[in-house]
């Protein structure tokens, strides 16, 4: 499917007209009714522009017009979700050519519209053998026209370009997250990153198991002990050309490609969803690729410690003490709190080898953050007020919401160990996400601009694509917006 920008709408295609719930809605519908020869009262009665509401009618030439509701004061995510649902629900009924009339809006909405349309074409049936031929609109023959005002053309073209870049990367990350463990190992993530780096011009280094042992990444190695699949540390580095003293941002993402819980094994009810435990890795790898694709003037380093957390006779046992890359020791109380353990090595490696100005880690880390914030926001943990404001502003702009939770030193007691420098689990039914954040902070060496994002409830969620939870691509748009606006 291709996308182009026009300033005039054609009557020879099906068209979509979005409406926000405003005081002028009745007048807008009356004007549309006049243009198409329908009674104004009919449109005003049947369409209220509620979020994701749609009304379809046929014109004189047999072409369909869709009225799409956006709700009150729609933000970026409202646009994205409204268009995604419409195009997903109607994907098999859409003709090859469709137009969207955006002349009533500023072209800054175009990126979200593109992401919504592309998202509507996502196919979760990755391994089904009896799939029918895909919808014609989302094939190579498909064509989308965005109709904008003449003064909005340049902005619209830029938004389409960025939206297309984000959509492609997000789709690949969603495919990786939705892939089961027998199709996705740590080496799979490494191979994807190598290919992406070659294609988009950024450096990639992979530390294999032998190199991890040589360099002493004992925390990552301890989690991998119960699996036949070897761990890796993925290092992806994008340096902008011609930018003197570019700001240096380090991103660390949890890359557990399947999590059984280890010896502290999970219950079987939802274990199959633990293929998603590399959501932080997906956000980091996707962001580095996009930074290179968009040629952002920021030096971005992504580090992903990746492993399976499985169980056999070699597995790390509760009570074991392991030595991390930084030299600090960890008492493993719960082997199902493995994400923070591998992130300890990722953070330590980042700080020692790259000294980033800003350090952000992302992980599908705790059920506690879901109990706190549900599935609508990720947890933000940072002692840095300025960084918290910048990340929250990016989250508000993109609709990938985050909410700040405390990392006060009164919570240090939760990670105190009697036999090691720190323990990985406090064993309490309270403040689990905060305790995990305090554990990670211990391995940042007091970095002045560190933030942790617990994306457990937002990276893998209920969507229109399937009957059970699946990947959302959460974190990529948030981080790209943050990088584009970083001070």
Q: Where are the beta strands (DSSP E) in 81-149?
A: 97-101, 143-147
- Determine phi and psi for 66, rounding to 5 degrees: -105, 125
Lookup: tokens for 387: 């960084």
Where are the CATH 3.40.630.10 domain residues in the chain?
A: 168-484
Whether domain 2-151 has CATH 3.40.220.10: the reply is: yes
Cα gap 214→217, rounded to integer Å? 8
Q: How many CB atoms lie within 10 A of CB 303?
A: 30
The hierarchical CATH code for the domain 168-484 is 3.40.630.10
Catalytic residue among 63, 91, 149, 266: 266
Handedness of CA 439, 443, 449, 453 (dihedral sign): negative
Residues in Cβ contact with 408 at an 8 Å cutoff, skipping those fewer than 6 apart: none
Catalytic residue among 15, 171, 275, 340: 340
- Determine phi and psi for 276, rounding to 5 degrees: -85, 0
Binding-site residue ranges:
254, 259, 277, 336, 338
Closest CA to 284 of 454, 487, 475, 481: 475
Cα gap 453→402, rounded to integer Å? 8
352 is catalytic: no
Q: Tens-digit pLDDT profile for the chain (487 aa)?
A: 999 999 987 768 999 999 999 999 999 999 999 988 889 999 999 999 999 999 999 887 788 999 999 999 999 999 999 999 999 999 999 999 999 999 999 999 999 999 999 999 999 999 999 888 889 999 999 999 999 999 999 999 999 999 999 999 999 999 999 999 999 999 999 999 999 999 999 999 999 999 999 999 999 999 999 999 999 999 999 999 999 889 999 999 999 999 999 999 999 988 999 999 999 999 999 999 999 999 999 999 999 999 999 999 999 999 999 999 999 999 999 999 999 999 999 999 999 999 999 999 999 999 999 999 999 999 999 999 999 999 999 999 999 999 999 999 999 999 999 999 999 999 999 999 999 999 999 999 999 999 999 999 999 988 888 888 999 999 999 999 999 999 7
Q: How many Cα atoms occupy the beta-carbon half-sphere of 331 within 13 Å?
A: 15
Helix, strand, coil percentages for the chain (3-state, nearest 5): 40, 20, 40
340 is catalytic: yes
Cα gap 275→277, rounded to integer Å? 6
Cα gap 196→286, rounded to integer Å? 10
Cα gap 438→424, rounded to integer Å? 10
Closest CA to 283 of 172, 195, 200: 172
- Return the SS3 of 270: coil
Sheet with 97-101, side-by-side order of all strands: 2-6, 143-147, 97-101, 14-19, 64-69, 54-58
Lookup: tokens for 162: 């960025």
Where are the CATH 3.40.220.10 domain residues in the chain?
A: 2-151
Angle at 481 between CA 476 and CA 484, to 5 degrees: 125
- Determine phi and psi for 241, rounding to 5 degrees: -80, 140
């Amino acid at each position: 499917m291709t996308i182009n920008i026009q300033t005039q709408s054609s009557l020879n295609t099906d068209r979509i007209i979005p409406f926000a719930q405003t005081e002028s809605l009745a007048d807008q519908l009356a004007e549309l009714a006049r243009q198409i020869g329908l009674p104004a009262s009919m449109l005003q009665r049947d369409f209220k522009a509620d979020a994701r509401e749609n009304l379809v009618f046929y014109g004189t030439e047999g072409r369909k017009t869709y009225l799409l509701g956006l709700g009150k004061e729609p933000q970026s995510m409202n646009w994205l979700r409204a268009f995604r649902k419409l195009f997903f629900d109607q994907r098999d009924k859409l003709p090859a050519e469709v137009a969207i009339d955006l002349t009533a809006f500023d072209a800054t909405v175009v990126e979200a519209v593109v992401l919504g349309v592309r998202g509507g074409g996502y196919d979760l049936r990755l391994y089904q053998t009896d799939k029918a031929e895909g919808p014609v609109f989302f094939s190579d023959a498909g064509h989308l026209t965005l109709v904008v005002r003449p003064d909005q053309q340049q902005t619209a073209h830029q938004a389409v370009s960025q939206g297309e870049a984000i959509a492609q990367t997000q789709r690949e990350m969603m495919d990786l997250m939705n892939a089961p463990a027998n199709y996705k190992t740590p080496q799979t993530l490494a191979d994807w990153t190598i290919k992406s780096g070659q294609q988009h011009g950024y450096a990639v280094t992979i530390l294999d198991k032998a190199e991890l042992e040589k360099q002493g990444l004992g925390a990552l190695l301890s989690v991998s002990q119960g699996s036949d699949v070897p761990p890796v540390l993925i290092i992806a580095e994008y340096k902008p050309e011609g930018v003197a003293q570019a700001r240096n941002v380090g991103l660390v993402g949890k890359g557990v490609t399947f999590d059984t819980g280890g010896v502290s094994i999970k219950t079987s009810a939802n274990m199959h969803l633990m293929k998603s435990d590399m959501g932080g890795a997906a956000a980091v790898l996707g962001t580095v690729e996009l930074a290179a694709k968009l040629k952002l003037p920021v030096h971005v380093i992504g580090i992903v410690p990746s492993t399976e957390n499985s169980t056999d006779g070699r597995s790390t046992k509760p009570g074991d003490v392991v030595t991390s890359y930084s030299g600090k020791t960890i008492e493993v109380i719960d082997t199902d709190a493995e994400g923070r353990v591998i992130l300890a090595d990722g953070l330590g490696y980042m700080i020692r080898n790259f000294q980033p100005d800003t350090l952000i880690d992302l992980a599908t880390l705790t059920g506690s953050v879901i109990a706190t914030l549900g599935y609508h926001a990720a947890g933000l943990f940072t002692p840095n007020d300025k960084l918290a404001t910048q990340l929250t502003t990016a989250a508000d702009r993109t609709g990938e919401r985050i909410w700040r939770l405390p990392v006060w030193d009164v919570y240090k007691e939760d990670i105190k160990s009697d036999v090691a420098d720190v323990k990985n689990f406090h064993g309490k039914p309270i403040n689990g996400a905060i305790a995990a954040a305090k554990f990670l902070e211990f391995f940042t060496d007091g970095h002045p601009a560190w933030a942790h994002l617990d994306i457990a409830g937002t990276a893998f969620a209920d969507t229109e694509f399937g009957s059970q939870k699946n990947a959302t691509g959460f974190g990529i748009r948030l981080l790209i917006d943050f990088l584009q606006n970083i001070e």
